[in-house]
Amino acid sequence: MLIIEGVVGVGKSSLMNILVDEGYVPFREPVLDNPILDKFYTDRKRYAFPLQVYFLTKRFEHLQTAAMVENAVMDRSIYGDGIFAAMHHDTGTMDSDEYRIYAELYAAMLAQVKAPTLVVYLRCTVDTAMERIRKRGRPFEQSVERDYWEKLHAKYETLFEHYSGSKLLVINVDHLDFEADEDDRAYVLLRIKEALLETA
Report the C-alpha gap between 3 and 199 in whole angstroms. Answer: 14
Report the C-alpha gap between 22 and 4 in whole angstroms. Answer: 15
| Residues sharing a CB contact under 8 Å with residue 14, sequence separation 6 or more, in sequence order | 178, 179
Transcribe 67-85 into DSSP letters: TTSTTEEEES-HHHHHHHH
Q: Where are the alpha helices (DSSP H) in the chain?
A: 12-21, 37-42, 44-66, 78-91, 96-110, 126-136, 139-142, 146-161, 182-199
Report the C-alpha gap between 76 and 146 in whole angstroms. Answer: 21
Known catalytic residues are: 75
For residue 100, report the phi and psi dihedrals to the nearest 5 degrees: -65, -45
